[in-house]
Amino acid sequence: MKKVLYIGTAAVLAGVVLLGFALKMDSGEQKSSHKSDAEPDITKEEPKISAEEQIQELVRQAKQGTTPNFNGIAGKTTAEGVEQEWTASGASSETETGTYTEYPERDATIGTRGGLVFDIRYAGKDLENIHYKDLQPTLGDPDEVKTFQDDTHDQLIWIYQVNPEYQLKWILPKPTNSTPNPAVDHIAVWTKVETKEEQMLSKMTLDEKLGQLFIAGIDGTDINEASKQLIEQHKIGGVIFYANNVDTPDQTVQFVNSLKAANQGNPLPLFTSIDQEGGRVARLPKQVAKIPTGAAIGKTNDPDYAFNIGTALGKQLQQFGFNMDFAPVLDVNSNPNNPVIGDRSYSADPDVVSQLTIQTMKGIEKQHVIPVVKHFPGHGDTSVDSHLELPKVNKTLQQLEQLELIPFKSAIEADADVIMVAHILLPQLDETYPASMSEPIITSLLRKQLGYKGVIMTDDMTMKAITNHYGLADAAVHSIKAGSDVVLIAHDPAKTVAAIDALKAAVASNEITEQRIDESVLRIIQLKQKYRLEDKSTKNVNIDQLNEEIETLLK
């Protein structure tokens, strides 16, 4: 039954009276003005609530999951309930932990997550009665002390675990020589609220979690025992199709359907992925209408046309039952001798690449297909094909920021869901490992410096850029340690099994914590939920109708 929040003026006043805050009268106020001349003129002072009493009352309320002005309960009251009773008149902001909405007229800020209130912040004037030196004598030492500092705040946060469900946080300015005993700025009552995705994660076994970190290549043009084992026994997160998996339109659809059917017993649907960029990188059956190269799109310099290209790509994949496309290519074609990118790139101008690839990405998304932008931090200035050997780009971070990183920054600002990391050695950033295995590049640069919060995926780990220099299973483990969420092993199911086993051994030996695994699996769950992926079977494609639709889009 939905918890309904009732917050009215009478309720707020009742709470204030209960706390005794309304009893703080001036000493000159009289109880009654109706006295006879014969009665003595007795003036009574209303009792003032002490800081200790006020602290104890706030703790009492916190143990029940509330604050003085809030009749709801943290962890139980819905966001909808707050919206029905209160009108937000301040800012609303999205953070990593939840959505925070300001209610200045209520002296409150409410944090919601997963549709529930989890953080209630109260900043009433009555808190000015409580000072820094009042807290510890009344409450004892805090369970945890944190600090917060920005351009306008330099604060202490004293955290008390008032019961197993709730924390009470006291936020006050740091004491200084001029203000050694500052008053409390605000309080917060906090409880843990799991999102739907976190609840799904908590129910998964370690084997189910580890499998989600892999997208695997499969053999043949129909499901076989090795493919079944990858899905049913090793719980892989997804599959990738290549040209050798594709024959006719009907065969392709039935193959995808059979893999989805094999996944029915697993907690999450499969990523069904393929390289469908257009031009020479097109894996769908030959009967499907061709899509122009990235370079051809770039020459038009037309954002609407680029969007239509993305829509066409997404429409093609969606019809065949695929839900993930390894496109578009964000590499800037700055090296004319590049043997692997060439006309896959939209332009040698990073601004053109940015504008057109983002539109292509949005077109793919419109068809409920997940675009994977690639190849971070930029494969355009390489002279070696990473399928054959490990390329080396001796550029500084500043040089990358002036060219290669520009499209990726644009993609991050446009909420790209997945970024693929290349097998490129950048010794100015990491002398030892290629980008796909590099913590300085994946975690320090992409996650922290560029602020990317989506899924990070490696390029195919069976490419010789990796296998000529590293053991594949060890490379997969190292990539996860460096910050990757998904490892792509596009050929030979046995290699995927070996990598999963190596990762499981790394967790068992505490080389990698299960918490680190959970971070990646949660991102994967969130992505699959965002696109509402399902393992539903797909009908055979009407090729003539599909091609006609594509041709109309591309005119």
* CA gap 444, 459 in Å, rounded: 19
Q: Check residue 46 and give left, alpha or beta (phi > 0: left; psi -120 to 50: alpha).
A: beta
Which two three-digit tokens encode residue 463?
């490419």
Q: Which residues pair with 371 in a beta bridge?
A: 325
The phi and psi torsions of 494 (rounded to 5 degrees) equal -60, -30
Rg, Å, the chain Cα set: 30
| Residue 220, CA distances (Å) to 216, 251, 462, 490 in order | 13, 11, 18, 13
Q: What is the torsional sign of CA 248, 253, 256, 258?
A: negative
Alpha helices in 263-326 (DSSP H): 294-300, 303-320
Return the axis-axis angle of helices 249-262 and 303-320, rounded to nearest 10°: 70
Which two three-digit tokens encode residue 464?
């010789």
Which residues have a catalytic role annotated? 387, 459
Q: Give the CA-trace dihedral at 391, 394, 396, 402, to 10 degrees.
A: -70
Among candidates 535, 544, 533, which has minimal Cα distance to 249?
Answer: 544
| Residue 264, CA distances (Å) to 80, 259, 526, 537 in order | 34, 9, 19, 11
Lookup result for tokens 């029940």: 64
The phi and psi torsions of 372 (rounded to 5 degrees) equal -115, 105
What is the Cα 93 distance to its own chain's centre? 15
Peptide bond into 164 cis (omega under 30): no
Q: Are 188 and 121 in contact (CB under 8 A)?
A: yes
Alpha helices in 160-205 (DSSP H): 196-202
* CA gap 533, 269 in Å, rounded: 6
Decide the pairing of beta strands 154-161 and 99-103.
unpaired
Enclosing H/E stretch for 77: none
